[in-house]
Structure 1
Amino acid sequence: MASSDILYKVCRDEYEAYTLYRALMKSRWGKKYRNILEKAAEDELHHYRFWTSVVGKCTTNFTKIKVLLYTIMLYLFGLTVTLKAIESRETDASRIYRELSESRPDLKDSLSKIIDDEERHEAEFASSIDEGRVRYLGSITLGISDALIELTGIYTGSLGAFENTISAGLTGFLAGVAASISMGIASYSQAKHEAYKNPKLSALYTSIAYLIVVILLALPYFVIKSMIFAFMAMVIIAIVVVAYMTFYTTVLHNRN
């Protein structure tokens, strides 16, 4: 006999997935894909109702908190990564459903239908949702990584070269702006040899990503008077940027 705790968990997860898809559907990013998200939400609602017939009511007060967290993720990482994060939960659920179908033969047919729905959601999201930041992730990564290397080197050298943080900040900022143009040109040239990329968009994504890092790393030098503390703040921001990209690519490519 399957554990009642497992049954309660999958019931709760289905309700949370339904609530999350509904929230994404209402966001400005989700409106373009309303039909797909609405169908996914309807499926999750049917799954939830099925499980309530088995275990009873299973909603929790944490659902609203999770919706808020995923909404923040949507703003920070975009629709594709947010859906990937939700679908990773669904993948775990599919594994549990297969195990349950062996221990609960009376639920086997219903569980097979639920598994088919979950796999269809993943396939539909993969084939229908197309975000520029995902398609041009290589160009963005190129801009971010090069900016981190270039700017952290400049600011490390500035520790003994400048008397005040404003001078150091301006030096890094101006060097970064010039380098962003150079990287954009390099990205454009590279994309011309890749059939599935638009060279202009590739250059734009690389330059913008580079400039964003330039601004973030220069910012402490314009608001902090101490060179040491400005440098420490810059290093922390650089670490956050690396952590952001690591999380983004990990979720996007289903890595652990």
Structure 2
Amino acid sequence: MTITDSYKKMVKAQRGELTEAKVYYRVAEFENDEKNKRILLEIARDEEHQAQIWKSYTRQDVQPYRWKVPFYTLLIRCFGLTFGIKLLERDAHKGVQAYGAMRSDFPEAEEMYKIEKDNEDRLIAMLNDKPLDYLGSIVLGLNDALVELTGVLAGLTLGIQSSPMIAAVGIITGISAAFSMAGSEYLSTKTENTGRVKPLTSAIYTGIAYIGTVIALILPYLIVKNVFLALSVTIAIAITIIYIFNFYVSVAKGTPFRKRFLEMVVISLGVATISFFIGLIVNRVFNINV
């Protein structure tokens, strides 16, 4: 690696550290939890310190990446501290290979990265992030809605073959199931009584996740008249929801993405396929044409 290449990587690392510091300071401004605020400020100061170390080598004043500051700030506000911060750190440290490549010209690079990463992991683990406490409730509502409703809609597509009627039946089924699931989650959480999560809040998370998924899956039947096209769009939406949700979990909880994503897709599409053929049988046996 040439001296010019090493210098560019150092400047890039310096800008990255300043960007992270700016994000953490910005997020700390609207954080109400005092413990979280303290942790965010501590991480921000660590990032500034790292930037100063890089500056001692680059001898240059640099500016943060402007678009990243509002982007990650908004992301954290919408999806929670843990997800936003881990995604920011993952983006910022994609250059870990670059650190390794810089070892010949800058031996401290790899060790500096390891120390910084260990400190940040420790601090992030201390954050109080309410959405993660209720992640199990969200999983319950989301997963049940995906499996049950894709199956119901697939079965109705061949059994009824009328978009408005399928949408109506789907809405009634979905909303009823959402209240049922929310009630079950309330009773289940209350019975476990761990004290960490509130039964009513847990039920609300489950219900919202279920109803939100129901609306997304039924929407194609309200827009598209061709029931088979509507079903195709619904399945595409289901896969997209599964992808986004599993990406969130993999980042926030540090779990493998691919295996969980494929499992949910196979289950949802498997149930939909079985229900589709059940609908075909019902259509043939009862000769339903709506």
TM-score class, shorter: 0.7 to 0.9
Q: Deviations over 1:6-39 (max 9, x none)?
A: 433322321221232233234x4x3544333233
Kept in 1, the 8 Å contact 2:153–2:231? The answer is: yes
- Pair 1:254-2:250 in alignment: no
Q: For residue 122 of structure 2, what is the aligned residue in structure 1?
A: 123
One-letter code aligned to 1:124: L
One-letter code aligned to 2:185: S
One-letter code aligned to 1:56: R
Number of residue pairs the alignment of both structures matches: 248
Q: For residue 74 of structure 1, what is the aligned residue in structure 2?
A: 76
- Pair 1:18-2:21 in alignment: yes
Alpha-carbon shift at residue 240 of structure 1 (Å): 1.5
Kept in 1, the 8 Å contact 2:43–2:123? The answer is: no
Q: SS of the residue aligned with 1:64?
A: coil
Q: For residue 155 of structure 1, what is the aligned residue in structure 2?
A: 153
One-letter code aligned to 1:243: Y
Kept in 2, the 8 Å contact 1:221–1:230? The answer is: yes
For 1:103 and 1:96, locate their aligned partners in 2 and report how far apart those are by CA, in whole Å. Answer: 12
Rate the CA distance shift 1:116–1:139 in 2: closer, same or farther, 3 A: same
Rate the CA distance shift 1:224–1:64 in 2: closer, same or farther, 3 A: farther
Q: For residue 183 of structure 2, what is the aligned residue in structure 1?
A: 185
Q: Deviations over 1:126-161 (max 9, x none)?
A: 22x323320111111011011001110111112223
For 2:209 and 2:225, locate their aligned partners in 1 and report how far apart those are by CA, in whole Å. Answer: 27
Unaligned runs of 5+ in 1: none
Kept in 1, the 8 Å contact 2:167–2:218? The answer is: yes
TM-score normalised according to structure 1 size: 0.80
Q: Deviations over 1:154-209 (max 9, x none)?
A: 11112223353221111111101111122123223332225243333222221221
- Pair 1:207-2:210 in alignment: no
Q: For residue 53 of structure 1, what is the aligned residue in structure 2?
A: 56
Matched-pair identity in %:
28
Alpha-carbon shift at residue 68 of structure 1 (Å): 4.2
Q: SS of the residue aligned with 1:175?
A: helix
Rate the CA distance shift 1:160–1:95 in 2: closer, same or farther, 3 A: closer
Higher relative contact order (CA 8 A, sep 6+): 2
One-letter code aligned to 2:238: A
Q: For residue 224 of structure 1, what is the aligned residue in structure 2?
A: 224
Rate the CA distance shift 1:103–1:163 in 2: closer, same or farther, 3 A: closer
- Deviation >4 Å, runs of 4+: 58-61, 89-105, 114-118
Kept in 2, the 8 Å contact 1:8–1:58? The answer is: no
Q: Deviations over 1:28-60 (max 9, x none)?
A: 4x3544333233223312321221220133747
For 1:162 and 1:72, locate their aligned partners in 2 and report how far apart those are by CA, in whole Å. Answer: 44
Unaligned runs of 5+ in 2: 257-290
Q: Deviations over 1:53-90 (max 9, x none)?
A: 201337478x1232344245335522220012223356
Kept in 2, the 8 Å contact 1:12–1:60? The answer is: yes
TM-score normalised according to structure 2 size: 0.71
Kept in 1, the 8 Å contact 2:185–2:199? The answer is: yes
Kept in 2, the 8 Å contact 1:188–1:200? The answer is: yes
For 1:57 and 1:238, locate their aligned partners in 2 and report how far apart those are by CA, in whole Å. Answer: 49
